Amino acid sequence: MFTKVYWLHTYEKGNRLGIMARPRGNEWLEQEIKQFKISGVDAIVSLLEKEEVYELGLKEEGQCCIHHELDFIHYPIKDRSVPTSVADTNRVVLSIHNALIQGKDVVIHCRMGIGRSSILAGAVLLKTGRKASDILKHISQVRGLVVPDTEEQATWLKNIG
For 55-80, give the DSSP string.
HTT-TTHHHHHHHTT-EEEE----TT
pLDDT reported for residue 125:
99
pLDDT reported for residue 1:
83
Residue 99 is inside which H or E element, if any?
Answer: helix 86-101
pLDDT reported for residue 18:
99
In CATH, which of 3.20.20.70, 3.10.520.10, 3.90.190.10, 3.40.190.10 is domain 6-160? 3.90.190.10
Q: Map out the domains of the chain as residue ranges.
A: 6-160
CB 104 within 8 A of CB 15: yes
pLDDT reported for residue 161:
86
The tens digit of pLDDT for each residue in 104-116 reads 999 999 999 999 9
pLDDT beneath 50: ranges in the chain? none
- Find, among 96, 33, 104, 111, the residue nearest to 65 by Cα: 33
